[in-house]
Structure formats: C-alpha cells, structure tokens
Amino acid sequence: MTDLEFIEQSVARREAMILDANDKIWSYAELPYEEYKSSTLLCDILEKEGFAVEKGVAHIPTAFTARYSRGTGRPVMGILGEFDALAALSQQAATPSKSPVVSGAPGHGCGHSCLGTGALAAALAVKDYLDAYEKDGTVIYYGCAAEEGAGAKQFMARDGLFDGVDFVYTWHPASRNEAQQHCSVAIMGANFEFFGRSAHAGGSPHLGRSALDAAELMSVGVNYLREHMIDQARVHYAYVDAGGTSPNVVQDHSLVKYEVRAPKVHQMKELFERVVKVARGAAMMTETEMKYEITMAFSDYVSNDVLGRFATQCMMEVGAPRWDDDDYALAKAFLESYDPVTLDVIKAEIASKYGAERLDALLARPLDAEVHPYKDGPHPYESGSTDVGDVGYAVPTLNLNIATCCLGNVGHTWQMTAQSCSSLGHKGLLTAAKMLALCTVRTMQSPETIAAAWDEFRAKTGGVYHCPLPDDVMPPVGRY
C-alpha cells in the first residue's frame, strides 16, 4: 500500500465524523476567544484518539495543543487548526441567495470550520501512519483560537510552544489549489482612548473638553498621513465609543480602534509610532488626555520555498477535489450571486490567472479542478494578515490553499459562510486533510528536506523568533 492509499483510507474511515464536526462547528459560529464549544469538540475527539491534550495554552482558554508521540518522538511535526467565526455573516448552508440563519449573527465567512476539521483529519491520519508503520515521531495539532481577532499563534510562539518542532503545515479554504506563494503583511492593532471633560454644550461649552473632537482630529491626522507612507501599508479604524448620544453634552470619553499593516514588522512598528504621534497631537489640540493599549500584532507570512516545492508534489499526487456536475452548478449559482461590479472584477481576475481563452468555460463551471505549480521567490506581498506568519518566524512553515468555494469567491462574505457547509466545503476539507497528511509523512521521511527548509528559514528570518508584541501584552480575552 502506498503512503497516499493509506492516508486516503484513514481519512475515509473517519469521514462521517469529520464532516459532522465541521457542520457542528459551522453551526456554533463562535467569535474569537469565545470558541468554547468548538474547542471542546475538537479536544474531545483528539483525546478519544489517544492524543495528550493541553487546554488553555498561552493564557487563552480556547487555545490548546494535542500531542501524539511514538518511539524517540523525532521528528516533531506540527499541524495548525483554526475554528473561529466572523461577526454578522450568518447564512443558511449551501444557499446561494442571502438568507441568514439569524440576522446579524456570526458565521464562518472565512471557512475556519473547514480549516479546523480538515487539519484534525490530517493529524489523525498521521497518527495512524506512525502506529501502522511503527515510525518514530510526534505529531502536534495546534488549536489556534481567534485568528480573526487578536490571534493566538504569536502568543503561543512567544510561550515557546513551537520550540523543538521540525516543521509545520497548515491550510486555508480558498478558491484555488496551490501552496501559498504570496507573502502576507504584518499588522498591529491598538485601542486609543481619549478623556475629556463634560459640560453643557449650549450653556457652558467653554468648560468642556471634547474627547470626541480628539478622536475625530486623530482621524483627520491619520488621513493626511496616508499620503506619506509606503504603497503597501494600510491603516484601518473603527469607532467603539463616540461618547454618548446626546449632542448637547460635551463628550468626555471616546475610544477608537486602529490597525496598521506593512510588509515587514519593522515597517509596521514605524508606521504605528507615527499613528501614536497623531493621537498625541489630537489630545494636545483638544486639551484631553490620551492613552493607548496595544491589543494585537502579527508578523508577516514568509513562504518557505523548500517546503513549497516539496508539498506541491504531494498535492499533485493527491489531486484537486473531485467535483461533480451538482458541485459545478452550485458554484455557478454562488458566483452569480455577486453584484455586477464585483462580478466584473472577479471575471478579470479569473482571466488574469487562467487565461482569457478559458474564461467562458470557467464561468460555466467555476471550480478549480487542478493543482497549480509552485514558483520560487521573491514572492509578492498581499495586503491581508494572519498569525500564521508568527509560526513561520518560529519554525519552517507552509500554508496550503485548497478550493472549498467557487472561483473568484470573496472572503469574509455570506457566500463563503454558505459554501463552508456545503458539498464544496466538505470535498475541499477532505482533500486538504489528505494533502496535509501526505505532506507531513513525506517530509518526515526526508531529513534532507527538513535540513534544507531550516537553512532557508534561517537565511530569511535570522533563525530566532521575536514576537511583534511587547512582553507585557497579554491576549485580550473578553476585551477585544
């Protein structure tokens, strides 16, 4: 029996359980740091399968590790799982017209229900492989909470949970099958609070000092800053507390969240300090007090070319998800659910990636049915961020993108929520499980690949993890 045949049998044996777990986590749709039912479900399965589970790691109640070892325990192999949802993206399963389960409720608009359970199936298959072939090794499933929030992996890395690990694989639901080649950008987020003095806005406005004015002046200052930062940088903000709803009261408190992104951590930190200076200036202009609290930060994701080339061969051996006519029809319905402007952008992207001559055929059957080659760096940056980047600065790491949705799908949408609990999500996560497991056991059997991945890792990162967060910043559980 080949490695792939063994893994396929392992995944098939647990298919019903894994899909049931996906659908349950999808229905729980728990927000970052609140994934208690999802985390418990995954831990219970892993414990029943013989893994040693440690819950509440890195001061995060819903984060955990699950370890299974044989013999010497070397090499040590990591597989990352996520399971948090996004606010306000509730949607009926497999339904290509907007129809929330509960209006305004959370939904798995990034497919993390699939991510967590696909990674789970992979970890169980690797465990089966170690047992069946009496191989030395350790497989660790990392239960990574709150990727959509302030993250967990950077706190886990800071606490040394990836120390001694030889390599890590993970995956993400996507519209395309390939080892991730692009880099993600670093990000830092903070709460900025302004404290003023209330007064009657009509009778004695001169006695008031408006915290809302300070927050608005900060917005103006940051908007002027945008012209004077690098093209790849981003600044986002959201008002959390505007100081009340009475316009005839000078607002004595305001709170605004800011996030800054840039390709590298040092660029991100430099830009963040400039935003802090703007906030201080706004406080000076309004004679208010300002304080800020850093709540999150992720390092940039840097792809490992050695693992990228190696994993792509494994992915090609597994092959893309086996779609049928019903899958193509469902994908077409989801694609056509987008508004005309978005659909025009999607069509242009498909033509750019696959060739204009294939556009009509792909629009009629909009699912990726191939595994794409890996191209060595230098790799371009895309403006999203993920705490997987921090794992990649702690140990050689690779992310696989596996199709679970229609071509051109826009993430963080109700469309993605619906597809994550459909035949598309199911077939994608089961394919991801096979790919992750095969990549892991093949890398385990190739010490020269592990050594080369570490050489590249040290060259790109310096070989020592530096958390982008200050040491005193703890996970903002219950306050993010």
Residue 377 has a pLDDT of: 86
Structure confidence by residue, pLDDT tens digits, 397-425: 999 999 999 999 999 999 999 999 999 99
Residue 405 has a pLDDT of: 98
What residue spans define the domains of the chain? Answer: 3-184+300-461, 186-297
Contact criterion met (CB below 8 Å) for 121 and 108: no
- Residue 202 CA from chain centroid, whole number: 48
Structure confidence by residue, pLDDT tens digits, 384-401: 999 999 999 999 999 999
Residue 23 reports pLDDT greater than 90: yes
- Scanning 234-288, the segments in alpha helix (DSSP H) are 265-286
- Residue 134 CA from chain centroid, whole number: 34
Q: Which CATH architecture has domain 3-184+300-461?
A: 3-Layer(aba) Sandwich (3.40)
Contact criterion met (CB below 8 Å) for 29 and 108: yes
* Residue type, position 91, single letter: Q
Structure confidence by residue, pLDDT tens digits, 197-209: 999 999 999 999 9
Structure confidence by residue, pLDDT tens digits, 353-370: 999 999 999 999 999 999
Structure confidence by residue, pLDDT tens digits, 90-132: 999 999 999 999 999 999 999 999 999 999 999 999 999 999 9
- Residue 126 CA from chain centroid, whole number: 23
DSSP for residue 320: S
Structure confidence by residue, pLDDT tens digits, 215-226: 999 999 999 999
Residue 70 reports pLDDT greater than 80: yes
Confidence of residue 479 (pLDDT cuts 50, 70, 90): confident
Structure confidence by residue, pLDDT tens digits, 321-337: 999 999 999 999 999 99
d(CA 118, CA 411): 18
DSSP for residue 181: -
Residue 332 has a pLDDT of: 98
Residue 145 has a pLDDT of: 98
pTM: 0.96
- Per-residue pLDDT, averaged over 441-458, amounts to 98
A 10 A CB-CB count for 49 gives 16
Dihedral sign of CA atoms 127, 131, 132, 138 in order: positive
- Scanning 230-379, the segments in alpha helix (DSSP H) are 265-286, 305-318, 325-335, 340-354, 359-364
Rounded mean pLDDT of the chain? Answer: 97
Q: In what order do the strands lie in the sheet with 137-144?
A: 52-55, 64-70, 137-144, 76-82, 167-174, 397-403, 178-179
Percent of the chain at pLDDT above 70? 100
Render the burial of 158-195: b for 16+ CB within 10 Å, e for the rest.
beebbeebbbbbbbbbbbbbbbbbebbbbbbbbbbbbe
Residue 398 has a pLDDT of: 98
Top-level class of domain 186-297: alpha beta
Percent of the chain at pLDDT above 90? 98
Confidence of residue 183 (pLDDT cuts 50, 70, 90): very high
Residue 104 has a pLDDT of: 97
Residue 127 has a pLDDT of: 98
d(CA 85, CA 30): 5
Contact criterion met (CB below 8 Å) for 404 and 419: yes
Residue 480 reports pLDDT greater than 80: no
